Amino acid sequence: MNYSFGKIDPSLIGDFVNIEYPSRRQFRDDETVERWKSIGHLYVNYTGLLREEYRGLPKWCYKISEYFKDRMNISKTSMSVYCMPPGTIMPEHRDMYHRYKDINDIDDDDICRILVFLDDWKSGHYFEIEDTPVINWKSGDYCIWYNDASHIAANIGRENRYTLQITAKVEK
Ligand SMILES: [Fe+2]
């Protein structure tokens, strides 16, 4: 199994609604998008709104990142807060970490991603990791996966779905 679940204290989480989210940028791997389309996933939006660290993030994000750095042997963390408005559907994929790998000059085998659910689960919010469905999460629940574990994220509900994504190098 290439993933595990845990929980942080939700009081570490600050305001994630009033962040200035930039406009959408579509998923960066054309081959994946073509594969989705070829099996019938014809959507307007495949990705949501990503506020990446280089644009500036609230302090509470760094506190959460420190929380994980204190407990795991990881380094070179990079964060983004991700808002998926209703109608955002990302079928099964593997994260490519193109930019992260370029900047940090590291191999696939050394990467992990921590996905922290910022809000309680709402109707229509979905996550799946290596064919395991995840719903009903509470604010502060998280999933960690390593390297290229496949996953799905979608919002077929009525309210925005918010997560904090931390990408890191796993030290051996
Ligand atoms: Fe992903």
CA of 108 to the centre of ligand 1 (A): 14
pLDDT bracket for residue 111 (50, 70, 90): very high
pTM: 0.96
The answer to whether 24 and 45 have CB atoms below 8 angstroms apart is yes
CA of 9 to the centre of ligand 1 (A): 24
Distance (Å) of CA 111 to CA 90, 102, 104, 107, 125: 21, 13, 11, 7, 26
The C-alpha angle 91, 115, 86, rounded to 5 degrees, equals 50
Three-state helix/strand/coil letters over 20-72: CCCCCCCCCCHHHHHHHHHCCCCCCCCCCEEEEHHHCCCHHHHHHHHHHHHHC
CA of 94 to the centre of ligand 1 (A): 6
Question: What was the pLDDT predicted at 54?
Answer: 94
- Whether the per-residue pLDDT at 108 is higher than 80: the answer is no
Domains within the chain, CATH numbers bracketed? 3-170 (2.60.120.620)
- 115 exposure class (CB count in 10 Å sphere: 0-12, 13-18, 19+): buried
CA of 152 to the centre of ligand 1 (A): 7
pLDDT digits (tens, 9 = 90+) for 67-86: 999 999 999 999 999 999 99
What residues flank ion ligand 1 with Cβ within 5 A? 95
CA of 91 to the centre of ligand 1 (A): 9
pLDDT bracket for residue 109 (50, 70, 90): confident
Q: What mean pLDDT value characterizes the chain?
A: 95
